[in-house]
Each structure stands twice: as C-alpha cells, then as structure tokens.
Amino acid sequence: MNGAHDMGGMHGFGPIAPEPDEPVFHAAWERRVFALTVATGFGGEWNIDMGRFARESTDPAIYLRSTYYEKWLHGLQHLLIERGHVSEAEIEQRMAQLAAREEGGKA
C-alpha cells in the first residue's frame, strides 16, 4: 500500500540523529510491547508479513508521529481487534482503569 511507511524520497523530516550506545529498549513498556508481539505472533494466527501490513495500516498522521515500538503496538492492536480478541472499548476501558490507578498512586 502507498502508506506513510513508504517514506523513501520524502523531504522535510530533518536529519537522522543516531544515538551513541543506543539501548535495545528505551523504556519498560517497549520491552513489554516486544514481548506481547512475539508471544501473540507465536500463536500462528498471523504471520510476520501480516504483522508488517497491520503496522502500515495505521492512520498516516498517527504513524508519522509514532516511535518504533508505538508502531508495533498500533499494529498489534489492529490485529487483535480485527480478529476479535479484544474490542476497542475494552482497550479504552483498561487504559482508563490504569490511568485511574496511576492517579491514585500519586495521591
């Protein structure tokens, strides 16, 4: 598909700034997204190319402002919702729960 991922030749993104000694994961949630993607993919319900296509299918505006593992998460959510494992409402509900818990923790 002619999506936002197919960026070859696009201008305006600025220089690439490689991080010296870049860590494998920048935050604990990235490690978790990687684990979720491997564990659910192992189920065999989709293959690696279906996984890539799911990432490419992310809304272009969201895709362009997402970091690497955010793109993985968008793709995984897409597959899980598309195949009826979770609903968008369930994800929203769980996010609200976790946000409330975090708020409570701060108080």
Residues that bind another protein (CB under 8 A): 1-2, 6, 8-9, 38-39, 42-45, 47-50, 52-53, 56
3-state secondary structure of 46: coil
Residue from 73, 75, 66 nearest 46 by CA: 75
**Nearest distance, CB of residue 49 and another protein, angstroms:** 4
68 or 103, CB closer to another protein?
Answer: 68
**Nearest distance, CB of residue 54 and another protein, angstroms:** 9
Query: How far apart, in whole angstroms, are the C-alpha atoms of residue 29 and residue 42?
Result: 20
Report the b/e string of 83-99 with b at 16+ CB within 10 A: eeeeeeeeeeeeeeeee
**Nearest distance, CB of residue 105 and another protein, angstroms:** 29
83 or 101, CB closer to another protein?
Answer: 83
